[in-house]
A and B are shown apart, each in its own frame.
Chain A
Amino acid sequence: MTIFNRNDNKPADSKLSAIDALQTPKPTEQPRPQAYAQPLSPPAKTGASMASVISKALKITGQLESTEDIQIDGEIDGDVRGVGVKIGNNAKVKGTVYGDEVELAGTIDGRIEAKKVILTGTARMSGDVSHQDIKIESGAFIDGNLKPDFGKTAGSKPTVAPFKPVAAVAPATPDKSAEARH
């Protein structure tokens, strides 16, 4: 045991002293740590309160529904249901967009059914709009009927309705969906 101790201690000591000798003059040369007014890296995003973002690289074929806001910059082939739905400049939606508030700067080929509808100057709307409140900026393209009948007719559905099955879903997915199990 003592042998091991002796052998262990010797090189360790000599190493340590060598390191000490090297390091002792250094601390005085090192720059003093500076205080930063702001943290160096931004705080991590908290996912819980974030709205959904469908970026321009994303293409969805199917249905999409959310109890939160949705920002769409990509391409959607199907219906969209959300609370606040923003459809960005280069976005394309083929289908019906339901929501409390729908802001369109891109293209919709289908319908809008929303309480409040905003069509910006770059909007391209092919289809009917059912609304309560609408704002149309100069430059917007509309090919369809505008009817202020949202919530009045039997045809307009509630904002969030249950899923309908879609044929495009992969066959590997069993049809027992999450709702059935949880």
Chain B
Amino acid sequence: MGLSMFALSRRSDARFAPARSSAELPPSFLGSGIRVRGVLEIEGELTIQGFVAGRIAALKLIIAPGGRVEGDIVAREVVVSGNLNGRIFAPNVTVEETAHIDGRIFHNTITVARGAHFDGRMPWRPVNFFETLDQLPETQP
């Protein structure tokens, strides 16, 4: 009962809630010297300062200045201050002024800072689009 309630409430205000359970789980950090190729799945927060090629599924993803990602990102919240070549599927997206993005941002709410480099499209999607995202064939590896 308690669990289902939690799942329900999480779903209903997924748009506004900051990545809630990220506080309980220790955040992951990929430093500037790291290079990862493959699929990353995390139930909490992930900060990338290094280079990642592949698919990322996270609750909250931060691409720090100097970080570089090539591939698709599925998350509840994404903050980009670094480089991205690929697609973002996230209800909350923030693009900082140091960001450099080539690709698409599927979003529900987005902030783009003045000075950010963005080449591509940013299609708006309703909140429920992001709830069924895991089943979308295009977000599968």
Write out, one digit per residue, whether chain A residues 44-78 have a CB within 8 A of any chain B CB (1) or not (0). 00011011111111111111111110100110011
* Distance, CA A57 to CA B19, complexed state (A): 14
* Distance, CA A50 to CA B66, complexed state (A): 14
- Chain A binding site: helix, strand, loop or mixed by DSSP? loop
Query: Which residue of the partner chain B has the closest CB to A175?
Result: B53
Q: How far is the CB of B51 from chain A (nearest CB, A)?
A: 6
B32 touches A48 (CB 8 A): yes
A1 at the interface (CB under 8 A from B): no
A78 touches B25 (CB 8 A): no
Q: Flag the segment in B4-12, B39-47, B107-115, B120-128 that touches A.
A: B39-47
* Distance, CA A17 to CA B86, complexed state (A): 59
Given contacts A52-B29, A64-B35, A66-B35, contact A169 B40 (CB under 8 A): no
* Distance, CA A56 to CA B72, complexed state (A): 22
Please pick, from B39, B44, B49, B70, the residue contacting A57 in the complex, using a CB distance under 8 A. Answer: B44
Q: Which residues 17-73 in B have Cβ within 8 Å of A in the complex?
A: 25-44, 46-47, 49-51, 53-55, 64, 68, 70-72
* Distance, CA A39 to CA B13, complexed state (A): 36
* Distance, CA A73 to CA B85, complexed state (A): 28
- Chain B binding site: helix, strand, loop or mixed by DSSP? strand
Number of A-B contacts (CB under 8 A): 132
A55 touches B38 (CB 8 A): no
Query: Which residue of the partner chain A has the closest CB to B22?
Result: A57
The chain A residues found within 8 Å of chain B, CB to CB, are 47-48, 50-68, 70, 73-74, 77-78, 163, 165-166, 168-174, 177-178
Please pick, from A58, A74, A170, the residue contacting B72 in the complex, using a CB distance under 8 A. Answer: A170
B72 touches A54 (CB 8 A): no
Write out, one digit per residue, whether chain B residues 118-141 have a CB within 8 A of any chain A CB (1) or not (0). 000000000000000000000001
* Distance, CA A108 to CA B35, complexed state (A): 21
Given contacts A66-B50, A67-B33, contact A57 B86 (CB under 8 A): no
How many residues does chain B have at the interface if contact means C-beta atoms less than 8 Å apart? 37
B38 touches A169 (CB 8 A): yes
B35 touches A58 (CB 8 A): no
B87 at the interface (CB under 8 A from A): yes
* Distance, CA A174 to CA B86, complexed state (A): 9
A47 touches B38 (CB 8 A): no
Query: Which residue of the partner chain A has the closest CB to B65?
Result: A47
Given contacts A170-B71, A170-B141, A173-B71, contact A178 B32 (CB under 8 A): no
Q: How far is the CB of B93 from chain A (nearest CB, A)?
A: 17
A64 touches B34 (CB 8 A): yes
Q: How far is the CB of B135 from chain A (nearest CB, A)?
A: 16
